[in-house]
Amino acid sequence: MAIALFLVVGIAAGFLATRIMGVKADLLTTIAIGIAGAFVGGFALRALVMVSGWFAGLVGAVLGAMLLIWLWKTYGR
């Protein structure tokens, strides 16, 4: 159940982050960005601020996905 919730949060984070950052990506790329962002942002937010809950996880995942998009735009091209 926790993995399913993590995937749903990651997918939502990818969707939100690509829309906020103005990235046109296909569905699989959006999902991959969101799940990777959930790993990066979720763990970083929980380690730095010590918060928990699904909303904090979503915020951390969106921030992590936005960070990954920014890194990709800045250094990936």
Total domains in the chain come to 1
55-73 as b/e, with b when 16 or more CB fall inside 10 Å? Answer: eebbbbbbbbbbbbbeeee
- Given a contact cutoff of 8 angstroms between Cβ atoms, the answer to whether 68 and 35 are in contact is no
Q: In terms of residue numbers, what domain contains 22?
A: 2-75
User: Tens place of pLDDT for every residue, the chain, 77 residues?
Assistant: 688 888 888 899 999 999 999 999 899 999 999 899 888 887 777 777 776 777 777 888 898 999 999 998 899 76
| Amino acid letter, 27 | L
Distance CA 22, CA 1 (A): 32
What predicted TM-score, i.e. pTM, was given to this entire model? 0.81
